[in-house]
A and B are shown apart, each in its own frame.
Chain A
Amino acid sequence: MEEIRIGVYICQCGLNIAGVVNVEEVAKYAGTLPNVVVSRHYRYMCSDPGQDLIKKDIQELGLNRVVVAACSPKMHEPTFRKAVEDGGLNPYLYEHANIREHCSWVHDDKKLATNKAKDLVRAAVRRVYYHEPLVIKEAPLNPNVLVVGGGIAGMQAALDIANGQHKVYLVEKDPSIGGHMMQLDRTFPTLDCSECILTPKMSDVGRHPFIELLAYSEVEEVSGSIGNFKVKVRKKARHIDESKCIGCNVCEEKCPWKTDSEFEMGLAKRKAVYIPFAQAVPHLAVVDPNLCAYIKSDGKKCGACIKFCEAQAITPETLLKQTDQIIEFDVGTIIIATGYDQFDPSVIPHYGYGKYDNVLTGLQFERMTCAAGPTGGKILLKDGREPESVAIVHCVGSRDQNYHEYCSRVCCMYGLKYAHLIKELAKADVYEFYIDMRCFGEGYEEFYKRLSEEGVNFIRGKVAKITDEALSDEEKGKLIVVGEDTLLGKIVRVPVDMVILCSALEARSDAENLAKIFNINRRADGFFLERHIKLDPVATPTDGIFIAGCCEGPRDIPDTVAQAEATAAKALSLISKGTITTEAAISYVDETICSGCGICEALCPFQAIELQPRDGKRVSHVNEVACKGCGACSAACPSGAIAMHHFTNEQILAQVEALFS
């Protein structure tokens, strides 16, 4: 066996490491360890001169193993592997010790931190002794992309990719694309009409030759990995013939069965067969099987839609026999843009949502002011009168330890927009209860200033309750908003006709399930976790899967669109490269030892191991493309026949042992 010659490099990281850890002492100590040929410390190992040190030493001193003790390997392990490779060694003959995030930044006792750094370096030196060269292989990347969610984020990402002439599968769970943005009336701070700017994009998506729109569909299963994901989508039964439906709406007019419209936030009714809204894409009817009398009676009742559908798109056959379809396809990258749910304010009983008629959520108010909405754009109380006074309550469910600690980021601005619209449309008095006014975006502060001059009453304080218990004649028949005005330092009672609750944006109720399907992580607040909060904000820890928009946390439309474009750029950059490098640190089997017990086969979460016949016995075989390198098999093998490259027992046990020698 060749002589092992190790080079050790201790990074000062300016004062980030050297301010606490005595790097000179650690480097000197490392020089005394077995097989260490050279040991240095340097101001910034990640800089070009730092990396050049390694390359020069490999060539001049004949190093065949390298250890760098620096920041987290999640930051710079790839940097130094590349440097080692440029120096002429296999990149896996490298080990990284984390003496910044795990040492200098978390310990202030210089002596103890220096001792710990020595331990970590010693363990890394011992481990690298056992490292082996590994081969990195390339595999082709499927250029097709899956986009999940047809709101503004998903549509934008799909269009960017499709315009580059790459195939996109756009999956939307609702019958039409459009998302929450379609429900909005006007958008702050410019007050341009939401549907006017959104519907052209929806039409573009609907007719794009490179977009296959799968509306009213949900992703059920995803397997594989970057470059080669296998996707299974459930296309829910619309109970109509999509090829015949012309979207004429006659079925909806004739259908006698009604329920609250989801799109109108319960302020209007829809029928059992319906088109969600006038500009729906695809413009097709959908039948609600839980409401349709024909379906529920197994064809014995009603059937009005069948009778009136001239296009013969609705038949007894489509209503009774049509079932969900499972559609399977392959993609190389995935963009998730599943949006948010509006926080249900009825869980805060003292705000009276669901108890008082004229306490509304933000999205309900959006529908009310929309010209195409249930009131034709008029702000009306339940009894049909126009309100004389309206209170807007900020931070409902946000910035509240009992519900969501985070700020929902959009409520201040849409709250201000409501104030403007109330002034414009109803000429009513407006009382805006806020904690802090957060107007951070382009044109936002200017919009706040404009509203301050429109005669809105701003009250700084959190609302304690909303009640109809009047204490005076003036309060009779009104909703009384009780809160503290923290600027005046007193409790206020404001009688109004209508209250709008600026409800928090929260993670989708099915986010947990989605995270499992796509194998991505969530933060404590339920939103999807990005790979790096600052430097990799649209990637996830799973290669090839990106996230955009409110599924990652509350954000406004400009930020959502920017993120969507970022995910498209990420996907397009992978597509333009065309290949992916496969994981080298995967499992392998010593067939001479393998007894063929099959424990590993049953354990493998990726079905990467199967028993295969070999010389009259059965042995485990690892599928190198499917193996993700978790190592669960090697921890369980009773005979030690299956091991994981780069995380062998020998390597890890040497590292453990060296911590104490």
Chain B
Amino acid sequence: MDNFEPKIVAFCCNWCSYAGADLAGTSRIQYPPNIRIIRVMCSGRVSPLFVLKALSVGADGVLVLGCHPGDCHYIEGNYKTLRRIALLKNMLAQMGIEDERIRLDWVSASEGNRFVSIVSDITKKVKALGPFRKNFEEKEHG
């Protein structure tokens, strides 16, 4: 399992977290290449369906990143995400899916460092959990 490299999808909002990821780039801060970013205008656009889809097609972890509470470009989209992801996690837990595979967090446009530490952290944790599909199918059938 040591050579397992997880694939993680990150949904980033255009105004804060995507810009934070850009800043990490501009500042040339290195992080694990396991992450693939998908841009949405607001974390409030992230439907639970997106998270489930990512897991079903091969993601080992999903990150949803929005603006810090109170800083949402669309006033309160991130609060909607907060509630949605909480409900989704509740459901996923009942299906035996590990909590650490899904993470909702906040990154502002000026927090390149924070983006990197969140990405590094989830990569490390998901790597320790192992591949999602294999684990999930073993649980399903085993």
Contact = CB atoms under 8 A, between A and B. Distances in A.
A631 B44 contact: yes
B73 A519 contact: yes
Contacts of A659: 7, 9, 36, 38, 54, 57-59
A421 interface: no
* Interface size of A as a range: 35 or more
A649 interface: yes
Contacts of A107: 30-31, 33
A1 interface: no
Interface stretch (B17-25, B96-104, B134-142): B17-25
Nearest to A108: B30
Interface stretch (A39-47, A97-105, A284-292, A312-320): A97-105
Interface stretch (A23-31, A111-119, A405-413, A494-502): A111-119
Given A74-B19, A649-B49, A653-B50, A106 B70 contact: no
A119 B37 CA distance: 10
A186 B49 CA distance: 63
A652 B77 CA distance: 18
A18 interface: no
Contacts, number: 143
B77 to A, nearest CB: 5
B50 A630 contact: no
A101 B33 contact: no
Given A107-B30, A529-B110, A522 B57 contact: no
Contacts of A603: 80
A524 B57 contact: no
Given A100-B25, A653-B49, A656-B53, A529 B41 contact: no
A203 interface: no
Contacts of B21: 101-102
Contacts of B33: 103, 106-107, 109, 112-113, 115-116
B124 interface: no
Contact of B50 (A102, A119, A606, A656): A656
B42 interface: yes
Contact of A98 (B37, B53, B74): B37
B122 interface: no
A635 interface: yes
Contact of A521 (B15, B29, B57): B15
B15 A653 contact: no
A516 interface: yes
B47 A102 contact: no
Interface string B62-78: 00000100110111110
Nearest to B44: A632
Contact of A647 (B41, B58, B59, B77): B41
B89 interface: no
Contacts of A522: 71
B125 interface: no
Residue among A98, A113, A628, A630 with most chain B CB within 10 A: A630
Given A107-B33, A647-B45, A605 B77 contact: yes
A357 interface: no
B16 interface: yes
A661 B36 CA distance: 14
Contacts of B70: 512, 516
Given A72-B22, A522-B71, A523-B110, A106 B84 contact: no
A521 B16 contact: yes
Nearest to B5: A112
Nearest to A634: B45
Given A105-B28, A106-B25, A656 B37 contact: no
Contacts of B31: 106-107
Interface in A641-661: 644, 647, 649, 652-653, 655-657, 659-661
7 contacts: A74-B18, A106-B24, A116-B33, A631-B40, A656-B38, A656-B54, A659-B9
Which 10 A-B residue pairs are closest in the complex by CB-CB distance?
A: A101-B25, A631-B45, A660-B58, A632-B44, A630-B74, A630-B42, A635-B47, A605-B75, A105-B25, A107-B33
Interface of A: 72-74, 98, 100-103, 105-109, 112-113, 115-116, 119-120, 123, 512, 515-516, 519, 521-524, 529, 541-542, 585, 603, 605-606, 628-632, 634-636, 644, 647, 649, 652-653, 655-657, 659-661
Interface of B: 7, 9, 15-16, 18-19, 21-22, 24-26, 28-31, 33, 36-42, 44-47, 49-50, 53-54, 57-59, 67, 70-71, 73-77, 80, 84, 108-111, 116
